[in-house]
Amino acid sequence: MNEEEKWYFNTETGEAELGKVSPLEQRMGPYASREQAQEAWKIAKKRNEQWDEDERRWKAGWDEGHRD
């Protein structure tokens, strides 16, 4: 499979694109299919939300354990 046959996800438009259509800083991929590209964005958003929640909990725990 060459580069033109791979799918990418454009984080600015929220659309899957066939080939390197968008600028690198707006692109996730490559993926073998359009569906995989679309799903990758959902997975990334879910992981980011979980990391944000984990960080919030960690900071809350740190604050509770280190008060004077």
Q: Which long-range contacts (CB under 8 A, 24 or more apart) does 41-49 make?
A: 41/9, 41/11, 41/14
Can you give the pLDDT at residue 61? Answer: 86
Q: Which residue has the tokens 């490559």?
A: 30
Q: What's residue 38's pLDDT?
A: 94
- pLDDT, tens digit (0-9, with 9 covering 90-100), for 15-68: 999 999 999 999 999 999 999 999 998 999 999 999 999 999 999 987 666 655
Q: Pairing between strand 7-10 and 15-18? A: antiparallel
Query: Span 3-16, mean pLDDT?
Result: 91
The size of the chain, in residues, is 68
